[in-house]
Amino acid sequence: MENQVILVNLGIYQDYTNDNIFNLLKYGNNVILIIDENLLQFVENKDKIKIIKTSELDLTYFEKRNRLNTTFRQGFWKNCSK
């Protein structure tokens, strides 16, 4: 039975993302990556995973209502919540 794993990478590219994808694929998981389009250049194995760009999602409600700190660690709390 294959597992489906969703990874999210927003704001700042995390170097361990490619390691996570590699290991998940190695053990037969289906991987979906939700990512900011400007970070796609860093992703490996793009042909083996499903990629959803944040620009394809309707985040207007979240953006209008967000009151989280957007300066700490380049928007850490906002990106975690999004």
pLDDT digits (tens, 9 = 90+) for 7-29: 988 878 888 999 999 999 999 99
Asked whether the beta carbons of 14 and 22 are under 8 A apart, the reply is no
pTM above 0.95, yes or no: no
pLDDT above 90: residue 65: no
SS3 assignment, position 17 = helix
